[in-house]
Structure 1
Amino acid sequence: MKKYFILYKPFLLFLTTFFFTYIVLTVLYQEYLNSFGENKLDAITRMVAKNTDQLLHFFCFNFSIQENPSHSFIKLIFNQKYVARIIEGCNAVSVIILFVSFVVAFSGKLKPTLLFIFGGSLLIYVLNVFRIALLCVLMFHFPKQEKFLHGVLFPLFIYGVVFILWVIWLRKFSKYASKDTK
């Protein structure tokens, strides 16, 4: 048994670190959400909605957001038509938690790790705002494609970005990155 532990030690350390980080961050995020009470919208989701509104106004679209205090979502109105809503799950925090957990599990030196986590998290957040804005525009013009757009294309996009960030982290910055400069 000891032989297998030694043989698979790097993999077991990765799994332990990944799941520990993921669980801790998820519990902290859940506590954050619980602080807003039932049927209350959290500040991060409000910020995502506001940033989406600002982005679409920057591109001169007729867009607005409507928050109803008795519901835990924000309506997205495009050209006076209700096209979608933002709920807590749309704010990309769970995706960022997954990203951070992976980077920590393959962490390298402290400064590059923290910088990559900050930069990657910011990139995921910004791309998520663009994703929601584009989703609103496309759902206005192609309402029958809602399931494909929301359920397939855009999750593929955001998780694809996270995967690319992971690959960059592993190949360039993690403690397992190749030190060869060929």
Structure 2
Amino acid sequence: MFLGSYFVLSICYNLYLSFFRNSKYYPDPITHLVAKQSEALVDGFGYNAQILPHHAELSMKLIVNQVYLARIIEGCNAISIMILFASFVLSFFGRLKLSLLYILAGLVLIYAMNIIRIAVLAIGIYKFPQHTVFLHSIIFPLIIYGTVFLLWVAWVRIYAKKQNS
């Protein structure tokens, strides 16, 4: 079930990306939204954030206090991680309503954590530029993959309880 759902969801996502390649939402609507929401959160923390299209590549430039810090690419929108999460939950499918509600709640949490991690990363790079590689290579993935791992552990516990009942 895992491989089948992962394959189908990945194909759907790739079709989505193909469809929106040349849209007004650069590079695609979800990545564009993630960039804009990350910009708003960084602004909310008291920094002057700005998101601009990167015309040399499919990404958005993230600028904090007039300093170009990073680019937000399609991979930063967490959709691939959401597909992985949903496929895992579907592979341990319980009752329909419970499973679908858990997937929906998990996707919302992953999306929110992704926006938070981009904002934290941007501020971290701005304040501690000497730690950019550590922040992006270790802390950045740890936040999102840690969230997914904890959601998986919670799902396995819920699923195990339902199986033992």
Shared fold per TM-score greater than 0.5: yes
For residue 179 of structure 1, report the CA deviation from its aligned partner: 6.4
Deviation beyond 4 Å, 4+ runs, structure 1: 178-181
1:23 aligns with 2:7: yes
Equivalent pair of 2:94/2:162 in contact (CA under 8 Å): no
1:177 aligns with 2:161: yes
Aligned to 1:62: 48
1:160 aligns with 2:146: yes
Aligned to 2:101: 115
- Please identify, of 50-59 and 78-87, the stretch whose mean Cα deviation from structure 2 is larger: 50-59
Greater C-alpha Rg: 1
Q: Aligned residues: percent identity? A: 45
Q: How many residues align?
A: 163
For residue 147 of structure 1, report the CA deviation from its aligned partner: 1.5
Partner deviation per Cα, 1:88-123 (whole Å, 9 max, x = no partner): 000000000000000000010011111110000000
Matched AA of 2:131: Q
Aligned to 1:8: none
TM-score (norm 2): 0.92
For residue 36 of structure 1, report the CA deviation from its aligned partner: 2.1
Cα RMSD for the two superposed structures? 1.8
Which of 103, 116, 120 aligns to 1:134? It is 120
Distance (whole Å) between structure 1 residues aligned to residue 94 and residue 42 of structure 2: 38
Matched AA of 1:177: K
Distance (whole Å) between structure 1 residues aligned to residue 82 and residue 156 of structure 2: 17
Distance (whole Å) between structure 2 residues aligned to residue 97 and residue 114 of structure 1: 14
TM-score (norm 1): 0.84
Aligned to 1:49: 35
Aligned to 1:11: none
Matched AA of 1:81: V
For residue 177 of structure 1, report the CA deviation from its aligned partner: 2.7
Partner deviation per Cα, 1:117-176 (whole Å, 9 max, x = no partner): 00000000000000000000011111121211111111012111101000101102x2x3
